[in-house]
Structure 1
Amino acid sequence: MVRPTSWEVDDGLWAVIEPLLPKVERRVRYPGRKRHPDRLVFQGILLVLHTGIAWEHLPQEIGFGSGMTCWRRLAEWTEAGVWPRLHQVLLALLRGANALDFSRAAVDGSHIRALKGSNKTGRSPVDRGRTVSEHHLITDATGIPLAATLTGGNRNDVTQLLPLLEAVPPVRGKRGRPRRRPDVLLADRGYDHDKYRRLVWDLGVKQMIARRGTAHGSGPGAQRWVVERAFAHLHWFRRLRIRWEVRDDIHEAFLTLGCALVCRRRLAEAQRRHS
């Protein structure tokens, strides 16, 4: 049995997310059953994200609502665009705390098993043709997730280079124009393509992409490891290790929520250092 206190949303996190949730007014006539509190439902969603438990196995006795209630609320908030806005707000708070470093960014991809068919799945070219999806991630110089995308595992990593850069939201948090582009982009040999090098330059970003055929240790790996660490932090959430969702948007919601929670953790660390 999971103790309810293990998944309690602290007041600081709830103060950030509550204003982002759509307001649902209860009907005056035929109001029906009272809506389960958003904060408890959010805790149920976090429980599924952390443990990977099936929705139907979510214990109702701990007060988070049924698995179907939590799933419906997740779908509702996903449609309302809550998770990208939550991630953007936390990035702004990190920048305001001088904990976000746009001097360089790193990109990479990571395959995960997909046990059910969907549009964004494909046969893996490196895992005996198993059906997989791929998480693509861009981080700042310290490994804070700036954006993430989802594709089928049969897509080439380099095709997500520009979508990742475009997915980085305008990050406020300081006076002046919001920051969106890193100064330098680091990537491994899988992104070595002259066409995409030029396109990255066209966005005003200097690229440091390892060349194929060069020896290991001769490229930007000493700085690019932060994105691999970020994947380790993301895949600590068990729901992101294996894809169980048929709907792409639901898995993307978990992926973006995971990025937001990593940002929240880094923000707490920055606040402790300055306290």
Structure 2
Amino acid sequence: MVRRGELTDKAWQRIEPLPPAADSRGRPWRDHRQIINGILWRLRTGAPWRAIPERYGPRQTCYERFKRWDADGTWARLLQEMQVKDDSVGHVEWTADIDSTISRAHQHAAGARKRGTTAGRSIRSSRKGQALGRSRGGLTAKLHLITEARGLPMAVQPAPGNVVDRTAFEAAIAALRLPRGGPGRPRTRPDRLIGDKGYPSKKTRSCLRRRGIQAVTPEHRNRTTDRRRKGSRGGRPPASDSETYKQRNLVGRCFGKLEPWRAIATRLDKLAGRYLAGVTTDCLMPWLRQAELSDTLQQDP
């Protein structure tokens, strides 16, 4: 019996060949599907690892599998494979949306240090390296998400919660990298990029212009006032497609699918890489649901 939030039979059939095989010289691994369901349970509920129910196997096995697949990039590869399959048949629509959401860091997420830091050094740099920032409400983290035109997640980039959106813009764009189904370089440039007023600036527009990406971002009120105050020296207003901008709600809907996962809505992991692995696993689920929906529509007469 498949419980709520677990992998369905169709979803498991799609990712079953992708996880790494166990070393033939060691002990056989516990069933991948059982362990993945245990990891999904922990991400969905936000409970400690030690609270994972026995039906998912030893909790230490769930944690070690999650940590190992974070280190070798298995979680990112699972998500990437689903994206590549859709892109190879032309289902991915390259009008991208970008936005960010902020999450409060749990008290257990604070205190991680960079390797090589000493007890006498300030921990500000280590917090910044782990995508944690001090905001008015305490330690917070941001997630910058890029979705395609159907609202499915394409790339995600963590950042400290006190860093403004346009500062982390280039890192978020660099995270978008989708290999081809056949020969050719990975695709890193959508046709258009939709963003709210927190992203536009001269630097971000120049970044998009260099990459050949059409910017669909309205001008901030302060910049409009400043440009008009300068008169002819202020230049022309940046072009923005108001009809395309109406699709910006899709990235918000995607956040609505990700944030019910309590280990994502509240950051529980100290390390930014471990937190990103959980977010990547969360992003995998909408792609699996979309694949099941596509299979159902193809089967219907």
Question: What is the identity percentage for the equivalent residue pairs of Structure 1 and Structure 2?
Answer: 30
Change (3 A) 1:274 1:15: closer
> What CA distance in whole angstroms lies between the structure 1 residues aligned with 2:198 and 2:155?
19
Change (3 A) 1:238 1:97: farther
Asked whether the 8 Å contact 1:56–1:67 carries over to 2, the reply is yes
Q: Which residue pairs with 2:270 in the alignment?
A: 246
Matches of residues 86-101 of structure 1 in structure 2 within 5 Å? 86-101=78-93
Return the offset for 1:7: 5.0
1:260 aligns with 2:284: yes
Asked whether the 8 Å contact 1:99–1:267 carries over to 2, the reply is no
- Which of 1 and 2 has greater Rg? 2
Please point out which of 71, 74, 82 is paired with 1:82.
74
Return the offset for 1:78: 0.9
**Which structure 2 segments of 5+ residues have no match?**
113-129, 225-240
Asked whether the 8 Å contact 2:98–2:147 carries over to 1, the reply is yes
1:109 aligns with 2:109: no
Asked whether the 8 Å contact 2:10–2:292 carries over to 1, the reply is no
1:212 aligns with 2:220: yes
Q: Which residue pairs with 2:36 in the alignment?
A: 42
Please point out which of 16, 23, 40 is paired with 2:14.
16
> Alignment RMSD, CA only?
2.5
Return the offset for 1:240: 0.9
> What CA distance in whole angstroms lies between the structure 2 residues aligned with 1:233 and 1:174?
31
Return the offset for 1:267: 2.1
Matches of residues 1-275 of structure 1 in structure 2 within 5 Å? 5-6=3-4, 8-27=6-25, 35-60=29-54, 62=55, 64-102=56-94, 104-115=95-106, 116-117=109-110, 118=112, 119-124=130-135, 128-173=136-181, 179-213=187-221, 221-275=245-299
Return the offset for 1:193: 0.8
**Which structure 1 segments of 5+ residues have no match?**
none
Scaled by the length of structure 1, the TM-score of the pair is 0.85
> What CA distance in whole angstroms lies between the structure 1 residues aligned with 2:282 and 2:5?
15
- Number of residue equivalences: 261
Scaled by the length of structure 2, the TM-score of the pair is 0.78
Asked whether the 8 Å contact 1:122–1:133 carries over to 2, the reply is yes
Return the offset for 1:89: 0.8
